[in-house]
Amino acid sequence: MFAYLRGRILAKSNNYLILETNNVGYQIFVGEAFWSSLKVGEEQEFYLSHQVRADASDLYGFRNLAELELFQLLLSVSGVGPKSALGVLSVASIGDIREAVIRGDAALLTKVAGIGKKTAERVVLELKNKIVKSIDGASLGSAFSSGFNDELDALLALGYSLSDARNALGELDVDLKDSGERVKAALKKLSRKNQ
């Protein structure tokens, strides 16, 4: 299984490139935004997802582990294949995609060819908790626990961004036990920030 490659870009065509590493050329499919930033002849590294099917063995490349992890989460949803998942990563930033899923906004995902309304809604439904859990564990600090999911949902429903809501909740006094009180305290912090 391939997980990482570094080498020189030999050629680019449509949605893939050929990367030369130790005199071997690898065909790597990449998202549109990443593809357009790459130049033939430059050295580049790729985090890879190796997708093997009965009729193909394809490599999908990403600039960092966060993109790779989101790609793999998208693949876990029934009806989303590698090309569609790559398309999702090309439509918006990782943060915007996560925020849309957490808010329950499937509209962003329907911009991708091959993802209709029902599939987009399935992605939101199946990934919402997984994304919140991955965010909780990775970067929210000790004060922000999985017990704050309701508060996060409330702030997102009020129109605050995921990062603002997380930051406000992460700064709360850990002695606040009531969910309503935590939302009120977070709203005060957010209103002070916006003044």
pLDDT value for 147: 55
Cα–Cα distances in angstroms (integers) from residue 195 to residues 188, 189, 190, 191, 192, in the given order: 11, 10, 9, 6, 5
Report helix, strand and coil shares of the chain as percent, to nearest 5. 50, 20, 30
Percentage, residues of the chain above pLDDT 70? 90
Rounded average pLDDT over 109-116:
88
Burial class of 56 by CB neighbour count within 10 A (0 to 12, 13 to 18, 19+): exposed
Q: State the amino acid at position 147 in one-letter form.
A: G
pLDDT tens for 6-26 read 999 999 998 899 999 999 999
Percentage of residues in the chain having pLDDT higher than 90: 46
- Assess contact for 141 and 170: CB atoms under 8 A: yes
Report the candidate in 2, 8, 20, 19 with the shortest Cα–Cα distance to residue 58: 2
pLDDT-derived band at 135, boundaries 50, 70, 90: low
Helix, strand or coil, per DSSP, at residue 98: helix
Please state, in angstroms and rounded to a whole number, the distance separating the CA atoms of residues 7 and 66.
Answer: 21
